[in-house]
Amino acid sequence: MAAHDPVEQKYVYDFAEGNKDLKDLLGGKGANLAEMTNLGLPVPPGFTITTEACKAYLTTGREPDGLAGQIEAHLESLEREMGRRLGDPDDPLLVSVRSGAKFSMPGMMETVLNVGLNDRSVIGLSAQAGQNDRFAWDSYRRLIQMFGKTVCEVPGEEFEHALDEIKRAKGTHDDLDLDADDLRGLVDAYKKIFAKHTGREFPQEPREQLDLAIRAVFDSWNAERAILYRRQERIPADLGTAVNVVAMVFGNLGPDSGTGVAFTRDPGSGAQGIYGDYLANAQGEDVVAGIRNTVPLQELEQLDKTSYDQLLDIMARLEEHYKDLCDIEFTIERGKLWMLQTRVGKRTAAAAFVIAGQLVDEGLIDLDEALHRVNGAQLAQLMFPRFQLDHEFEAVAKGIGASPGAASGKVVFTSARAVELAAEGEPVILVRRETNPDDLNGMIAAKGILTSRGGKTSHAAVVARGMGKTCVSGADELDVNVPAKKFTVGDHVVNEGDVVSIDGTTGKVYLGEVPVMPSEVVQYFEGELDPENTDDALVRSVHRIMTHADAARRLRVRTNADTGADAARARRFGAEGIGLCRTEHMFLGDRRELVERLILASGERERENALAALLPLQRADFIEIFREMDGLPVTVRLIDPPLHEFLPPLEQLAVNVAVAQERGEDVAKEEALLAAVRRMHEENPMLGLRGVRLGLVIPGLFAMQVRAIAEAAVAVVRDGGKACPEIMVPLVGAVQELETVRAEAERIIAEVVGDSGVEVLIGTMIEVPRAALTAGQIAEAAEFFSFGTNDLTQMGWGFSRDDVEGAFFWRYLELGIFGISPFESIDTDGVGRLVRIAAEEGRAARPGLKLGVCGEHGGDPDSVHFFHEVGLDYVSCSPFRVPVARLEAGRASITTTGSDSR
């Protein structure tokens, strides 16, 4: 037989042949069933058809050579083990056919139970079950229903409808009231439905049922909902699913049978205990379908103490074995417990931290492994304010948590109305079926965005995340009627102006205003909660894991801050310096007038006066920041954006001047301003006169800033403080630019610092691709590089950073051109390659060259791992992301053999 051919690929594994590490091949369910089998736990016998078989089938449209023979061989051995043959009329073996991919995709793919039943074996099954006709006919009707729906695409409602009819005729709502005759009648009705839709009789041949069911599970990998789910969860599309063929055990054989699900700890909070639900006299799909109400698992102790004790024992064993929270599915058949599934269970962000801490306490894992088990995305989630939910608030809908946070506000349906109400100071929630680029203003004005369509990569989701705005997308229970300015959900009608609350983490939608409470994790970082002295298990665990991450990490973490307040907060959050102090904000507010004078200066003297007036103000800014950072390095970047950004917009100014002229007013000053704005107008300001180019064109501008920095440092040191300034030149593309600025800066610094002991480093941003490619030359004139990955991404891809995310990234994400915006997570292949080249060539030219990154990517978990791997010295990010960067830098430093829980 083909199965014995030594070169034939092995497509089928008995449970005894696999283990938990074979998820790629056997899927999560199959690998864990094998693991439990090998632990000696009571798992019904069975075998797994590999993901390789599925992939071969999906590529060629037919089962790979040898598969049929291998299934035959494994089926025979299953039959031998069970002492029954598949579909034997007198004593049938029945099997379930279950999907199981590497990553859990709950409810997305197919399952068929009771395969092997037909018009004859249903009689044998009844005899097997002690002349339980009702059970046998119920099992048969379930097979026809599931098989019809899953394998032959018969509309499920037709079966539901037939079932309802019989119940109505009998005057009951409860399936359990139907007797054997009713169910036999239902089987007839189901068979007719099957024949009507498929043009054939329900297959009586058990092996044909099995083969068709296996094929249907393979096909379900490419069902629309599965594809959507994978896209949302970023699960690769080419993994395929395994298929598990398992001997049936029955939870619906009477009151001493039942089925349930359980967690070894609370997946919501991480608290220890027994969490689960049990349903007597039922099969698994009854629990899922919610036909009858389950009871808390604890009640099983009264119903069947032996099984309950055995279950607790098994749960403890599983936790000890997997060293993690496990979730399980089980069935009790006439007092005998069977394990149908286990896996390392999904959990909330809070539970992930709490459980990791507990497992360390219990000696099951070490701190490295605990650090590995949590991640920056979870920590970031815990840093958002949350709704304070009590029993009063029940969600009316659940969509996709597309951008985290908690927001309440008045419902509006158009962008224009959002802008109007927000201008009146009202918090608003913009509700749309889906958003498009025309909604941008409304999205900016709103506190939160709610859509009834679209997933995690829809326009609404991508743009909201980019703005850091709460968003729930794809809440498909909402019927949004924009012209009528209302939406309906269930029995509720919500009109414009009504208040709703949305939770961008859980995706839940509430009517009315839900109070918001601050994050205890932020309170801890702020120093308001003492981790040694709190009974908050989450805070204790976060503290412990953060402490370990800090000890483990090689990367330093700095912050992007340009005010004393931001610098102070970032220090409380653990920043070890400032990696980017953008000086441009220091030219706004009441200093605009000085900047205007600088720009409009008609001669050298006027310009010098304006700069002289700016100098003390800048000095005071830097003194405040150096004091806050108290000796930690502070990278001050010389002014970057084009100067016309500090002037009024061209159109507005032109209109004002025209109107004033019309009225005959004296507009000499405005006209001069308008002329200057016209002179400086650029078609592509991002590629125009900014950064170092500005410093080289406007005499004295950079010199004033350098002087202010040096004087501020000297002032702080003279006062007994410490200051470590690093002057950073933006937008350098050629070493000559840097050399020119450097020569002048060195002269000023030498003059100012004298013998004060102040040391000032001079370095550059690497944010123009040419700078990255000529890093060896540039390093000759730089004591440090800081990668400006925002501009490097903009110029590397040619994507305008101000426009593209809202304009068309949603489409690129939909098409899979990239899985995540390259402005959010570093494009390691392209932009990352530029970083790698510059780091290597820079260090080759100047050993010990200090390397950091200060673009947005500095606080992005995946990017932090990349920067660690490339060998940077530090990452710098906004104050709020500093803890996330610390945690991820720690995670990047440890090596562990454990597996991520996804």
Active-site annotation, residues? 459, 854
For 416, residues 6+ apart whose C-beta sits below 8 A from its C-beta are 441, 442
Closest contact distance (angstroms) between CB of 613 and Mg ion is: 27
**Residue 41 or residue 766: which is nearer to ligand PEP going by CB?**
766
Closest contact distance (angstroms) between CB of 684 and Mg ion is: 15
Q: How far apart are CA 816 and CA 853, in angstroms?
A: 27
Residue 537 backbone dihedrals phi, psi, to 5 degrees: -60, -30
The half-sphere exposure of 794 on its side-chain side, counting CA atoms within 13 A, is: 20
Closest contact distance (angstroms) between CB of 234 and ligand PEP is: 25
Closest contact distance (angstroms) between CB of 579 and ligand PEP is: 9
Q: How far apart are CA 35 and CA 15, in angstroms?
A: 8
Token pair, residue 277, equals 């639900």
698-to-600, 688, 708, 744 alpha-carbon distances in Å: 12, 14, 17, 14
Burial zone of 755 (CB within 10 Å; 0-12 exposed, 13-18 middle, 19+ buried): exposed
Closest contact distance (angstroms) between CB of 864 and Mg ion is: 19
**Residue 126 or residue 764: which is nearer to Mg ion going by CB?**
764
| Closest listed residue to residue 765, CA positions, set 854, 840, 884, 837 | 854
Which helix (H) or strand (E) segment holds residue 449: the answer is strand 448-451
Closest contact distance (angstroms) between CB of 837 and ligand PEP is: 17
Q: How far apart are CA 799 and CA 83, in angstroms?
A: 66
Closest contact distance (angstroms) between CB of 271 and ligand PEP is: 42
Binding partner of residue 855 among Mg ion, ligand PEP, none, CB cut-off 5 to 8 Å per kind: ligand PEP
Binding partner of residue 562 among ligand PEP, Mg ion, none, CB cut-off 5 to 8 Å per kind: none
Q: Point out which residues pair with 98 in neighbouring strands.
A: 111, 244
**Residue 19 or residue 790: which is nearer to ligand PEP going by CB?**
790
Token pair, residue 487, equals 């939406």
Q: Which residue has the tokens 């205007």?
A: 596
Closest contact distance (angstroms) between CB of 791 and ligand PEP is: 3
**Residue 429 or residue 771: which is nearer to Mg ion going by CB?**
771
Are 18 and 31 spatial neighbours (Cβ–Cβ below 8 Å)? Answer: yes
**Residue 596 or residue 791: which is nearer to ligand PEP going by CB?**
791
Q: Point out which residues pair with 406 in neighbouring strands.
A: 503
Q: How far apart are CA 559 and CA 579, in angstroms?
A: 6
Q: How far apart are CA 294 and CA 280, in angstroms?
A: 8
Q: What is the CA radius of gyration of the chain?
A: 33
The type of residue at 588 is L
The type of residue at 201 is E
Sign of the torsion angle spanned by Cα atoms 281, 287, 289, 293: positive
**Residue 66 or residue 579: which is nearer to Mg ion going by CB?**
579
For 174, residues 6+ apart whose C-beta sits below 8 A from its C-beta are 167, 292
| Closest listed residue to residue 453, CA positions, set 428, 472, 467, 481 | 472
For 836, residues 6+ apart whose C-beta sits below 8 A from its C-beta are 870
The residue sitting closest to Mg ion, measured at its beta carbon, is 791
Are 853 and 834 spatial neighbours (Cβ–Cβ below 8 Å)? Answer: no
**Residue 22 or residue 765: which is nearer to ligand PEP going by CB?**
765
**Residue 343 or residue 465: which is nearer to ligand PEP going by CB?**
465
**Residue 264 or residue 863: which is nearer to ligand PEP going by CB?**
863
Q: Point out which residues pair with 119 in neighbouring strands.
A: none
Neighbours of 291 (CB within 10 A): 14
Are 347 and 270 spatial neighbours (Cβ–Cβ below 8 Å)? Answer: yes
Are 599 and 648 spatial neighbours (Cβ–Cβ below 8 Å)? Answer: no
Binding partner of residue 369 among ligand PEP, Mg ion, none, CB cut-off 5 to 8 Å per kind: none
For 750, residues 6+ apart whose C-beta sits below 8 A from its C-beta are none
Q: Which residues are near Mg ion by CB under 5 A?
A: 767, 788, 791
Token pair, residue 321, equals 């074995």
Sign of the torsion angle spanned by Cα atoms 459, 461, 464, 468: negative
Closest contact distance (angstroms) between CB of 421 and Mg ion is: 35
Q: How far apart are CA 598 and CA 608, in angstroms?
A: 8
Closest contact distance (angstroms) between CB of 573 and ligand PEP is: 19
**Residue 637 or residue 868: which is nearer to Mg ion going by CB?**
637
**Residue 211 or residue 791: which is nearer to ligand PEP going by CB?**
791
Q: How far apart are CA 30 and CA 45, in angstroms?
A: 12
Q: How far apart are CA 341 and CA 274, in angstroms?
A: 17
Work out the widest C-alpha separation in the chain, in whole angstroms: 108
Q: How far apart are CA 336 and CA 402, in angstroms?
A: 44
Closest contact distance (angstroms) between CB of 881 and ligand PEP is: 14
Burial zone of 366 (CB within 10 Å; 0-12 exposed, 13-18 middle, 19+ buried): middle
**Residue 219 or residue 640: which is nearer to ligand PEP going by CB?**
640
Q: Which residues are near ligand PEP by CB under 6 A?
A: 580, 582, 640, 767, 788-791, 854-855
Q: Which residue has the tokens 């199959």?
A: 30
**Residue 36 or residue 732: which is nearer to ligand PEP going by CB?**
732
DSSP string, 305-358: HHHHHHHHHHHHHHHHHHTS-EEEEEEEETTEEEEEEEEEPP--HHHHHHHHHH
